[in-house]
């Protein structure tokens, strides 16, 4: 059974080759034997990989694992290959590129918009940025209010899914 992981944005394949007597994993074509896989959850980990002891700290985020290993910090995501994000590659959602606040809302739910039309003006670090529609379509929802603050990657607006708006 195989999983795809994104480490700092780069994709890696990790395959479960054997589970007993020790876990055998194949990563990017190379095999690794893992002993003491440890408990689930956040905190210290002590793994033995190919006989070598490895310690790390791990914490789960919303859809990622953050790790501190060998003095470096990493963020690893499970690549969602099942198409859960939508066949249009997330083009139905407008996500915040950085944390900030809503300065102006340019479109309302139900409104037809063309790709590139302004949806929101946001301010982050005293810089104003206009966020534009990622494709043609209909505004389904503006998920933030005037002056509301938001975090990075938060969904700010949604478009009606393509098949519905085209129907």
Residues that bind another protein (CB under 8 A): 1-3, 5, 7, 12, 14-20, 23, 25, 27-28, 30, 32, 34, 37-38, 40-43, 45, 47, 49, 54, 56-61, 65-76, 78, 98-101, 124-126, 147, 149-152
Q: Which is nearer to another protein, 112 or 152 (CB)?
A: 152
Q: Which is nearer to another protein, 73 or 111 (CB)?
A: 73
Burial 19-40 (b: 16+ CB within 10 A, else e): eeeebebeeeeeebeeeeeeee
What are residue 84's phi and psi, to 5 degrees?
-60, -30
Q: Which is nearer to another protein, 87 or 101 (CB)?
A: 101
What are residue 112's phi and psi, to 5 degrees?
-80, 135
- Give min distance, CB of 105 to another protein, in A: 18
Q: Which residues pair with 14 in a beta bridge?
A: 3, 27
3's CB contacts (< 8 A; 6+ apart) are 13, 14, 15, 78, 79
Q: Which is nearer to another protein, 52 or 163 (CB)?
A: 52
- Give min distance, CB of 75 to another protein, in A: 7
């Amino acid at each position: 059974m195989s999983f795809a992981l994104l480490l700092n944005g780069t994709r890696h394949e990790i395959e479960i080759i054997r589970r007993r007597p020790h876990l055998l994993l194949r990563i990017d074509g190379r095999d690794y034997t893992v002993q003491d896989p440890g408990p689930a959850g956040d905190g210290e980990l002590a793994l033995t990989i190919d006989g070598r002891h490895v310690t790390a700290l791990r914490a789960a985020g919303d859809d990622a694992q953050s790790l501190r290993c060998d003095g470096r910090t990493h963020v690893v995501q499970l690549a969602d290959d099942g198409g859960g994000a939508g066949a249009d590659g997330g083009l139905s959602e407008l996500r915040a590129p950085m944390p900030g606040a809503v300065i102006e809302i340019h479109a309302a739910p139900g409104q037809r918009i063309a790709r590139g039309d302004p949806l929101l003006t946001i301010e982050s670090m005293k810089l104003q940025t206009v966020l534009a529609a990622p494709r043609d379509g209909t505004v389904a929802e503006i998920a933030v209010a005037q002056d509301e603050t938001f975090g990075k990657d938060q969904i700010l607006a949604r478009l009606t899914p393509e098949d519905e708006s085209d129907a």
